[in-house]
Every structure is written in structure tokens, then in C-alpha cells.
Copies of this chain bind each other. A is one copy, B any other.
């Protein structure tokens, strides 16, 4: 089994993105091949880069990782919606308002990952995990929607989805009572999630 694991680069004034930091440290489950990819936090371009990698590597599973600052748990996403609506600009200055990810696309696409099993596995590994019902309307949601849409058409046997991780402790050092998670715990969580596949 081949797994494509992607993580975003830093955005929104942050110097680090826990997503790719964690991805770098994830280890391939026994007997599985793991391909890692850093993805720019840019509307459109992120979808292109990940779907190009899907075309090239033909993975059995695609898991995209992103940062959800303020969340207290690792949150596999249930669904991506067909809207891009940014409160701030992405890393190339794009700021779409109420635009569809794909014109004429379905309103939403459900993750095809075993989301609940992953959550159970992460919790069993001692790291807090919860399902999320919204990946937002920024680049994370757009990538999830774009990848799910691509897979449905071009490689329906490839399962795909998105997992959000909290801030790292160093990102919240001077902010009051914002949840964070150590890199070690994030890696443990992602390893547990991958082991489920």
C-alpha cells in the first residue's frame, strides 16, 4: 500500500506550520510505502501540486495535514465544502470571497478515509482526537475538496481526506490559554491514523 502524506507550509504570520513538521517525522507503517510532500498555503496551486503527485505516484491513500490554530485535538475532517471564502490572504495574496472550489461541483464531498477508526486509534495512542465537521473555507478545505473531487474522477479506488492538527507549544507561548500540542504527540497521532489504513 502506498500513502501520500502532505503538509502545508507556514501561513498567517506564523514562522512554522506544525503540519509539515509532523509529516516529516511520521514513519511508514510496516509494509506500507510513504511519500511526503510539502504544499504551499496557496489557493489553487496546492490542489495542482497534490493532484500532480497523485498522478505521478498513484497512491492508495492521500492524507493532507493542515494547522487549525485554536483546536485542542487532532481533528480528522468529515467533509469538505465547495466554497473558498478567505478572511485573510493566502501566501501569494489571493483572497477569494464566496467562490466555489470547482464551478458546478457538488456542494460538499465526504472524506473517504476511515475517519472514526482513525480517531479511535489516535485516542487509544493517548493523544486527543475528535471528528471535525468543518475544514473551514480557507486553503485547507479547498485542498481537501479538490483532492476528493480529483480522486473521484481519476482514481476512485484511492481514499483521501484531511486531518487538522493544533498549534505547537512554541506558537502559543505568549498567548493566553490557547490549546497546543507537542510535535511528538502529533507524530504519534498521525502514526496511529496511518496504521489504521
Name A residues whose Cβ lies closer than 8 Å to a Cβ of B.
70-73, 78-79, 81, 83, 85, 87, 98, 106-110, 116, 123, 126-128, 130-131, 133-134, 136-137, 169-170, 172-174, 176-180, 182-185
Provide the residues of chain B in CB contact with A182, threshold 8 Å. Answer: 126-127, 182, 185
Please report the C-alpha to C-alpha distance between residue A37 and residue B71 in the assembled complex, in whole angstroms.
34
Residue of B79, B130, B131, B177 touching A107 (CB-CB under 8 A): B79
Q: Is the interface of A mostly helix, strand, loop or mixed?
A: loop
What copy number does this chain have within its complex? Answer: 4
Residue of B nearest to A177 (CB): B72
What is the CB-to-nearest-CB distance from A66 to chain B, in angstroms, rounded to a whole number? 15
Provide the residues of chain B in CB contact with A87, threshold 8 Å. Answer: 174
Residue of B70, B109, B127 touching A169 (CB-CB under 8 A): B127
